Structure 1
Amino acid sequence: MHGERGSVLPLILVFLMIGLTAAYVLVAATSLSIERKRLLTIADAVALSASESFAAADVTFVDAELQPVLDPTKVHERALATLEDLAGASPDSVALVSASTPDGVTAAVVITGHWTPPLTHALLPSGLEITVSSDARVVLS
């Protein structure tokens, strides 16, 4: 009985380390998820803005309906300008990978950003590149 004295303290320390590690990984995963959703929201806004980059002269009649025709250059310029406006104080955190119009009525945008964990540790990578894409289609009714 005398040899079992003090054997609970190492168990408490081990479980405390496991608990803290699990909490750290959970906080980092939540941070990654929030950053991805933030980038996706920015990509949605940029794609929507780029899909509205047409002028009244760019609208044509197709099957008795008005249909705008997007210019790839205007889509890219508008996407870049909108991204610069939305990036605000941290323009280096988000970059435009591509902005195009595959069919003339849809603006397709791909952006990338960098995520770093809230605390640096050997368990997790020092950062990850996150790439998101969004499409916005022009419909006149």
Structure 2
Amino acid sequence: MRRDRLRPGADHDEQGSTLLLTIFYCVLGLSLILVVVSATSLYLERKRLFTLADGTALAAAESWSLDAVQVEGDHLSLELDSADVGRAATAYLGDAVHELHDVELVRAASDDGQSATITMRAVWYAPIHTELVPLLVPIEVTATARSVFH
């Protein structure tokens, strides 16, 4: 054992080294918590937008009229019109209650005449803005629904 360790005040050059380490780990931990909270918020916002798009697609898929139903033997079929799908989607979004920001109907159409395809866009705003997390992220989802006779 060295004698200078036994003298009082000999270990003064190691004071504060744990303080810097503690500060570093606190900043790292808070940064990690911020990123996880923001990622969770973004995920939930995307799920909310997808739920809204899914409901819009379902309402648009049911936008046919009785005149569009065709009887072929014992089989019924219908032809969806893209204009009707767009009108039904716009009407549904006008009535829907949601807490999403800057919701936009990008596309509402019936590509095959049987199903309605809806593409929507919204903007996610970060709960807390830092250099680690962007302030806003545009999100876009597509949902498809089909009206079926049995």
1:93 CA displacement: 2.3
1:115–1:127 CA contact under 8 A, matched in 2: yes
> In the alignment, is residue 8 of structure 1 matched against residue 14 of structure 2?
no
2:51 maps to amino acid: T
Alignment of 1:41-120 (within 5 A): 41-62=51-72, 64-87=74-97, 93-120=102-129
**2:5 paired residue number:** none
Q: Give the whole-Å Cα distance in 2 for the aligned partners of 1:47 and 1:96.
A: 11
**1:126 paired residue number:** 135
CA RMSD, Structure 1 to Structure 2 (Å): 1.5
1:102-124 deviations in whole A, cap 9, x for unaligned? 11110000000000110111111
3-state SS of the aligned residue for 2:138?
strand
Q: TM-score, normalised by structure 2?
A: 0.88
- What is the aligned residue count? 140
Mark the runs of 5 or more structure 2 residues left unpaired by the alignment.
Answer: 1-10
Structure with max Cα Rg: 2
3-state SS of the aligned residue for 2:112?
coil
Mark the runs of 5 or more structure 1 residues left unpaired by the alignment.
Answer: none
**1:35 paired residue number:** 45
Aligned-pair identity (%): 37
